[in-house]
A and B are shown apart, each in its own frame.
Chain A
Amino acid sequence: MARTGPKNSARRVLTWLGAIFVVLTAVLAGGVVTGNASWAPKLALDLEGGTQMILAPRVEGSSEINEEQLNQAVAIIRQRVDGSGVAEAEISTQSGRNVVVSLPGTPSKETRDLIQASADMNFRPVITYGDPAAVPVESRTPDDQLNKPTAEPANASDVNWITPEVQKEFEALDCVNPSTERRERSDPAKPLVTCEAATSTTPAIKYILGPVEVRGQDISDSTFSQVQGAQGSVTNSWGVNIVFNADATEKFKAVTERLNQYYVAAQAQGTDDPKSQFAIVLDDKVISAPRSLAVITDGRPQITGNFTQASAKALSDQLRYGALPISFEIQSQEQISATLGGDQLRLGLLAGMIGLFLVVVYSLFQYRALGLVTIASLVVAGVLTYLAIAILGWTENYRLSLAGVAGLIVAIGQTADSFIVYFERIRDELREGRGLVSAVENGWKRAKRTVLASKAVNLLAALVLYFVAVGNVRGFAFTLGLTALADLLVVFMFTHPMLQVLARTKFFGEGHRFSGLSPDRLGAIPLYRGAGRLRTPDEKPTPVRARNTGAVAEAERRMTIAERRLAEKGQLTGSSKATKEEK
């Protein structure tokens, strides 16, 4: 047979498909060699074991959270989690509203608290401080002797902020055994009575703080380092370096000018003035209250003191990541044991193998040798999907979840669907009396449209599911969409070209009884058989069974083009009864 167009184009397409494989494999191999990728897909924690928390962010003052804030929330959590030393945490947004945190293993209470902690950080000047214990009720200042403001407060450090209510609250506050009760968030424009918790080296302290002067959001960066000595030498003490943004630089300069005056004045008398201190307040708790030793004009203060490397890092992290007023509420938390995860993966794969096996058996049963094309196509689609998932795992950190595995298994059937649509079309064409080569071309022309339209439906569903999915079922939509694309590629670039090639083989072309495309077995009587041999009149369709006789009349009305032609021919020779047709 001469080299015809379809066969040549089939070869070309198959070569392209081969090229795609080579490129994808090379990309992944390159990734593996450079050490970042892995041949095996990455697994989500429901297969690997671990904890998944879904958190809803809450922003102070507004009930709705915008995308930027959500991204900031993710950044905050990510840095907090990374900062806490938990390796391989996954933090992502979901549906534009929630934050999903996935951690390997079981997180400690500290890690959970850290993740959930709201980040309301402010800087307030200290007005006064005192003993951490609550003043015994009997020795509290009588109502008539309580401090009365003499004037409107002139600045945030003014003692006129101490109203009778503030003083009473201060006296009653117990910082030795602080209450764990969650309080309403403080008003930034009002003074605050609060504690600094005790650490291993310092006792707890009770403060009255002035209104907020600089907000935590104004910190653009925070680092920690060893403090440089006078000659630029590195000392053994640690310090925390803050960088304020331009706006806060001005405010901070004004604040330090004021506080530094108190410091200098007190130093001259050899004493200490609480008002020289500037408290860093996180969640209305003082985390540190350094004194202002100098006027900071460049917005880059350094906090020094009794820091160890660890405590300097901790404060620096708190400053950097605690600078957004977003808090989180745990919506759902799932902690999956590694045992269960492993079981689920094993059984998921087992289910997949069984599903694949059943489809293979069914295709071979229904389509004989053609079923082998289905299987080969499924294998090609499978390898493509596998490569895609492994590459996505490397580049996008995509992780295969149990739902994703389910999507892959379900996709076996959906992929085989499009082959069935195609094969049935070819069979239809054969029934019309065409030879296999033209049946493949004609069948493809018609099936192509159907396959495209139906895959569009699948893709649409996958997209919608992906964008609205909640919980951990998103992986299902993802693999469903991915396999729909792989399926399209395979149908166009493998299944159809393969059939174009196979149609020219002796086995399929002559309609071997196991080819699945045997006209005899399909019950079709072709008009011609390859070599121009015409159907002889005695090759009548098989007699109709008795219980079907009722349909004969209708059947005759519903003859195919081939049969009609035959019938017309028979009418001419007078050997067969035919239905007249006007058209």
Chain B
Amino acid sequence: MTTSFATFGHELYTGKRSYNFVNSKKIWFIIAAVAVALSILIPVAKGGFNLGIEFRGGSEFTVSNVSTTDASLGEKAVHDVVPGAIPRVANVAGNTMRIQTDQLTDDETNRIKDALTSAYGVTENEVTSNFVGPTWGQDVTRQALIGLVVFVGLAAVLMALYFRTWKMSLSALVGMLVTMFTTAGVYALSDFEVTPSAIIGFLTVLSYSLYDTVVVFDKIRENTADISTSTRRTFGEEVNLAVNQTLVRSINTMMVAVLPVAAILFIGAGLLGAGTLRDLSLALFVGILIGTAATIFIAAPLYAWLRQGEPDLVKQAKKVSHRRAEATV
């Protein structure tokens, strides 16, 4: 397998084996456009995301090491203290129960804690409570939006400085935005809970997406450095070759990035239930896969497309086809 993978890498490098990412751009762009459109429409149709308690406000209890996962015990414990409450009790992982309610007063929180402790037969040390005030969610949302805008802005500046061509910067940013929207779309579609941790993971995904694009674009830039004097390949073909040449690297970096994330995801979700670890890693897991694909299928073909109309490159493309016609005769 290794041999074939290394050989696979070689064949991609020389162009013996080649996947036509650039020429099939129409398909990719349509797929991306549909995915982005769905990602915007789905949350609208569903009435928004499944927001975590941090955004809605409320109280949440986590009971660890329960001997029984009977949800009615938790409901009863809450009802005994606050008769009108509508608790949401769930077995989140293994022997961990999560009980969410509307906002409670201090006193109610303490009494429910006691009630849960005895209901599930655990010690006081195994009950965790979390209270989120009504205005906290707005703060969280605002900070997340500021983070998003600041990051995209700074990334745009960094890209412009590094690539020194706005077409490359634009392509990289479009790739990132596609990642952003579709990752959000996956969240909306799957009803994953959106928590501050998930948002941090989400912003990290944007960085991964850009990082990946930088690596691939570096190779593109290298391959197309003397494009005006070369008649071997058209610009689009050079871009496609660069993507193919970095394909093994893309797969490898994606794998090593996603493996630890997967470890957190399955440990986090399987043994701990919802929480910082799971929310972070879920966003990262989805985003890294999409981000890698967006570089290959969107950013690179978009860059080729943006530049193919440039007079110099049109002239160069003519020379290439002219030479090829000559060579086949």
Stretch from B36-44, B177-185, B200-208 that touches the partner: B200-208
How far apart are B319's CB and chain A's nearest CB, in angstroms?
9
Establish whether residues A410 and B284, one from each chain, have CB atoms under 8 Å apart when the complex forms. yes
Cβ B128 vs Cβ A337 within 8 A: yes
Closest to A521 in B: B6
Knowing A457-B207, A470-B139, the reply to whether A339 touches B125 (Cβ < 8 A) is yes
Question: Once the chains bind, are B54 and A420 in contact (CB under 8 Å)?
Answer: no
Chain B residues, CB < 8 A from A405: 277
- Interface band, chain A: 35 or more
Question: Are B5 and A366 neighbours in the complex by a CB distance under 8 Å?
Answer: yes
Cβ contact of A557, chosen from B15, B158, B204, cutoff 8 A: B15
Q: Report if A356 contacts B (CB, 8 A).
A: yes
CB pair A563–B14 under 8 Å, yes or no, is: yes
B1-35 near A? 1/0 per residue, CB < 8 Å? 11101110111011111100000000000000000
Q: Which residue of B lies closest to A480 (CB)?
A: B204
Closest A residue to B8 using CB positions: A523
How far does the alpha carbon of A456 sit from the alpha carbon of B163 in the complex, in Å? 13
B248-264 interface code vs A (CB 8 A; 1 in, 0 out): 11001101111111111
Q: How near does chain B come to A566, taking the closest CB pair, in angstroms?
A: 12
Q: Given A470-B139, A476-B200 in contact, is the A347-B16 Cβ separation under 8 Å? A: no
> Least Cβ distance of B135 to chain A in Å?
7
A 488-499 binary contact with B (CB < 8 Å = 1; else 0): 000000000000
Q: Which residues of A contact B316 (CB under 8 A)?
A: none
A521 to B64, CA, bound (A): 52
Cβ contact of B260, chosen from A339, A352, A446, A468, cutoff 8 A: A352
Any B CB within 8 A of the CB of A135 = no
For A334, the chain B residues whose CB sits under 8 A away are 128-131
Q: How many residues of B contact A (CB 8 A)?
A: 96
A461 and B6 form a contact (CB under 8 A): no
Cross-chain contact of B143 among A417, A469, A552 (Cβ < 8 A):
A469
Binds B, one of A120-128, A260-268, A574-582: A574-582
Q: At the interface, yes or no: B267 with Cβ under 8 Å from chain A?
A: yes
A457 touches B155 (CB 8 A): yes
Contact of A554 with B214 at beta-carbon distance under 8 Å, contacts A420-B252, A523-B10 already known: no
A458 touches B65 (CB 8 A): no
Is B80 engaged at the interface, CB distance under 8 Å to the other chain?
no
Is B88 an interface position by the 8 A CB rule? no
> If the complex has contacts A338-B125, A460-B151, are A417 and B257 also in contact, measured as CB distance less than 8 A?
yes
C-alpha gap A454/B252 in the complex (Å): 16
Asked whether any CB of chain B lies closer than 8 Å to the CB of A450, the reply is yes
> B215 near A468 (CB under 8 angstroms)?
no
Which residues of the other chain, B, contact A402 by a CB distance below 8 angstroms? 275-277
**Which residue on chain B has the smallest CB distance to residue A368?**
B2
Contact with A along B297-329 (1 / 0, CB 8 A): 000000000000000000000000001100100
A483 to B90, CA, bound (A): 36
Which chain A residues border B261 with CB–CB below 8 Å? 355, 409-410, 413
Point out the residues of chain A lying under 8 angstroms from B246, CB to CB.
Answer: 424
Question: A468 to B150, Cβ gap below 8 A?
Answer: yes
Looking at the complex, which one of A333, A350, A461 makes contact with B267 (CB distance below 8 Å)? A350
Bound-state CA distance A458–B205 (Å) is 10
List which A532-577 residues lie within 8 A (CB) of chain B. 541-542, 544, 548, 551-552, 554-555, 557-560, 563
Given contacts A457-B155, A523-B6, A548-B11, 20 further A-B contacts (CB under 8 A): A54-B136, A332-B131, A335-B130, A339-B126, A343-B272, A347-B267, A347-B277, A352-B260, A352-B264, A356-B260, A358-B259, A358-B262, A403-B197, A406-B277, A416-B256, A457-B210, A460-B207, A465-B204, A551-B16, A557-B233
